[in-house]
């Protein structure tokens, strides 16, 4: 590998060969499974299934262990899956589900240290260094994008600006006053910040030092990323994480921007068919299942994330052999079934983002009209787009045709002026399902 030592935050882990990765994974898996016997939940699971830690002799033996699901976390709310006593834990994060109990994730000090190391590794990989100014626009609190990035960015040695969510004009003032070079934002908010910059007469290339954007937490298309890069004059890197796996720092794009390296010293990756739960070959879409390898408070074995993605085959030119995950297609629960066709919101976004007349904000509404289920796609126009009514109508038709080619149903398309559609402070709400359930 013709890389310098300084290209890596953790050269030992980042430059491992595949056999070295697998050897370390087996050691860590065996230690994790043994440690899980301190968890009342896993102890019972193993007993009920007639397995014991000594059955895990190879990495393939992982498949003897049953999956852990979000429902398991809810059923054992709040602390029933923990493998460490509560007096060794120093923080918890909780994600609010829309139904039932929230899920709770506990951390010891060592867990938090490793989490910061993982996030620092990601940020270092895309060129963040001491001397950079890192501004985080995530909410600080239960959402892990706040504290997770905060400690990771500090570990890199950057000057951090914990701006937190909202108040866009203040965010922009921080950019210019503090010389922010790196920003973490969810994609919908990155677009929003640019719109406010335009309104305020701020040119990101002329008036700021922004060069790197970290975007994640919600599905977005490559088209959306390119658009954001173009608007802000930055390189934007996709960042994947989830509270159950700590938070951010699970998988991250390298400078090649072609798939997110998942850190295999921390996680074992499986991609399974969501119906049969059998593994699918590299390159095929399936549900991501993760096993933590380095967690004290709350290790999780074969956790079904519900996120759909694939492992990209082949080696990454950056030299890291840690597997690469493709951009998330969405969650299996986000899939829309309309007129018998399976549709992911991201497919719609990909089509919309190809039209330069359109802005970044859109809303898909599903409703039942005269006992037929219909889809309406409302999308904001870019800028203060003024054009004749006739041309707008023609554009709506063209978009509807292209959407049909992609999703095989013809939605109604409505172009609306910029700023019309709701903007949420957290993750964007892209789908409103008002269908009558018969």
Cα distances (angstroms) measured from residue 395 to each of 227, 350, 359, 379, 392: 20, 16, 14, 12, 5
From the list Zn ion, ligand AMP, none, partner contacted by residue 318 (C-beta under 5 to 8 A by kind) = Zn ion
Residue closer to ligand AMP (CB basis): 26 or 301:
301
Contact pick of 73, 118, 165, 254 for Zn ion (by CB under 5 A): 254
- For residue 412, which of 379, 377, 381, 363 has the smallest C-alpha distance? 377
Question: Binding-site residue total for Zn ion (CB under 5 A)?
Answer: 5
CB of 316 to Zn ion, least distance (A): 3
Alpha-carbon distance of 34 to 392, in angstroms, equals 63
Report the nearest approach of Zn ion to the CB of residue 125 (Å): 8
Residue 254 binds which one of ligand AMP, Zn ion, none, with CB within 5 to 8 A depending on kind? Zn ion
Neighbours of 15 (CB within 10 A): 16
Interatomic CA distance for residues 430 and 360, integer angstroms: 11
> Binding of ligand AMP at residue 238 (CB under 6 A)?
yes
Least distance between ligand AMP and beta carbon 248 (Å):
8
Q: Which two tokens stand for residue 209?
A: 């030092």
Site for ligand AMP in 288-307 (CB under 6 A): 305, 307
126 lies in the site for Zn ion, by CB under 5 A: no
Residue pointed to by tokens 């060794």: 88
Nearest to 91 by CA among 74, 69, 113: 113
In angstroms, what is the minimal distance from the CB of 217 to ligand AMP?
A: 5
**Residue 411 contact, options ligand AMP, Zn ion, none, Cβ 5-8 Å cut-off depending on partner type:** none
Q: Crossing angle of helices 18-36/40-48, nearest 10°?
A: 100
From candidates 152, 241, 249, 345, binder to ligand AMP by CB under 6 A: 241
The residue written with tokens 């070079």 in the block is 181
Joined together, the tokens standing for residue 290 give 């993760």
Contact 95, 63 (CB under 8 A): no
Binding of ligand AMP by 138 (CB under 6 A) = no
Q: Which one of residues 41, 46, 175, 240 is an interface residue with ligand AMP (CB under 6 A)?
A: 240
Smallest separation, CB 82 to ligand AMP (Å): 18
Closest CA to 359 of 298, 290, 416, 284: 416
Rounded CA separation 205/276 (Å): 50
Tell me which of ligand AMP, Zn ion, none is bound by residue 316, counting a contact when its beta carbon lies within the kind-specific cut-off of 5 to 8 angstroms: Zn ion
Contact between residue 119 and residue 149 where contact means Cβ atoms under 8 Å apart: yes
Contacted by 243, from ligand AMP, Zn ion, none: CB < 5 to 8 Å by type? ligand AMP
Mark the segment that binds ligand AMP (CB under 6 A) among 30-38, 49-57, 213-221, 350-358: 213-221
Size of the site for ligand AMP (CB under 6 A): 16
CB 185, CB 164: distance < 8 Å: no
Subset of residues 306 to 345 that bind ligand AMP, contact rule: CB under 6 A: 307, 328, 331
Q: Which stretch binds Zn ion (CB under 5 A): 247-255, 296-304, 372-380, 430-438?
A: 247-255
For residue 160, list its beta bridge partners. 134
Binding piece for ligand AMP, criterion CB under 6 A, among 80-88, 228-236, 238-246, 376-384:
238-246
Q: How many CB atoms lie within 10 A of CB 227?
A: 24
Indicate which single residue of 316, 325, 352, 364 sits in contact with Zn ion (rule: CB under 5 A): 316
CA-CA distance, 135 to 168, in Å (whole number)? 12
| Closest CB to Zn ion among residues 256, 425 | 256
Q: Token pair 């008002």 is at which residue?
A: 434
Burial of 310 (C-beta count, 10 Å sphere; 0-12/13-18/19+): buried
239 binds, among Zn ion, ligand AMP, none (CB under 5 to 8 A by kind): ligand AMP
Whether the Cβ atoms of residue 311 and residue 269 lie closer than 8 Å to each other: yes
Q: Select the span of 10-18, 172-180, 239-247, 354-362 touching ligand AMP (CB under 6 A).
A: 239-247
Please, are residues 374 and 412 in contact by the beta-carbon 8 Å criterion?
yes
User: Which one of ligand AMP, Zn ion, none interacts with residue 218, CB within 5 to 8 A by kind?
Assistant: ligand AMP
95 binds ligand AMP (CB under 6 A): yes
Residues that bind Zn ion (CB under 5 A): 254, 256, 316, 318, 320
Residues that bind ligand AMP (CB under 6 A): 95, 144, 216-219, 238-243, 305, 307, 328, 331
């Amino acid at each position: 590998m013709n890389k310098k030592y300084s290209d890596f935050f953790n050269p030992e882990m980042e430059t491992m060969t595949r056999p070295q990765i697998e050897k370390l994974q087996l050691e860590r898996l065996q230690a994790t499974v043994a440690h899980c016997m301190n968890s009342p939940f896993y102890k019972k699971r193993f007993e009920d299934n007639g397995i014991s830690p000594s059955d895990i002799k190879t990495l393939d033996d992982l498949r003897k262990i049953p999956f852990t699901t979000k429902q398991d976390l809810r059923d054992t709310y709040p602390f029933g899956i923990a493998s460490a006593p509560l007096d060794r834990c120093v923080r918890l994060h909780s994600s609010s589900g829309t139904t039932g109990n929230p899920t709770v994730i506990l951390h010891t000090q060592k867990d938090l240290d490793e989490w910061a190391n993982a996030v620092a590794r990601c940020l270092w990989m895309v060129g963040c260094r001491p001397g950079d100014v890192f501004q985080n626009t995530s909410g600080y609190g239960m959402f892990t994008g706040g504290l997770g990035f905060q400690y990771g960015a500090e570990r890199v040695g950057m000057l951090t600006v914990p701006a937190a969510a909202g108040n866009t004009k203040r965010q922009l003032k921080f950019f210019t006053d503090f010389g922010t070079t790196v920003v973490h934002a969810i994609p919908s908010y990155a677009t929003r910040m640019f719109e406010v910059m335009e309104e305020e007469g701020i040119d990101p290339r002329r008036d700021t030092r922004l060069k790197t954007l970290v975007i994640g937490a919600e599905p977005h298309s490559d088209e959306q990323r390119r658009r954001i890069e173009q608007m802000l004059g930055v390189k934007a890197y996709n960042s994947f994480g989830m509270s159950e796996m700590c938070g951010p720092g699970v998988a991250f794009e390298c400078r090649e921007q072609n798939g997110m390296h998942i850190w295999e010293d921390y996680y074992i990756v499986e991609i399974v068919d969501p119906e049969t739960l059998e593994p699918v070959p590299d390159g095929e879409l399936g549900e991501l299942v993760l096993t933590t390898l380095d967690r004290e408070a709350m290790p999780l074995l074969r956790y079904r994330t519900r996120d759909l993605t694939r492992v990209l085959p082949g080696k990454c030119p950056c030299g890291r052999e840690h597997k690469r995950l493709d951009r998330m297609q969405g969650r299996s629960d986000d899939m829309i079934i309309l007129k018998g066709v399976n549709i992911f919101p991201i497919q719609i976004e990909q089509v919309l983002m190809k039209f330069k007349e359109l802005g970044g904000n859109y809303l898909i509404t599903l409703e039942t009209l005269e006992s037929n289920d219909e889809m309406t796609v409302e999308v904001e126009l870019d800028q203060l787009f003024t054009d004749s009514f006739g041309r707008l109508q023609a554009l709506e038709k063209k978009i509807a045709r292209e959407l049909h080619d992609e999703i095989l149903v013809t939605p109604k398309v409505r172009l609306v002026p910029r700023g019309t559609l709701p903007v949420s402070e957290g993750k964007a709400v892209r789908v409103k399902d008002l269908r009558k359930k018969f």
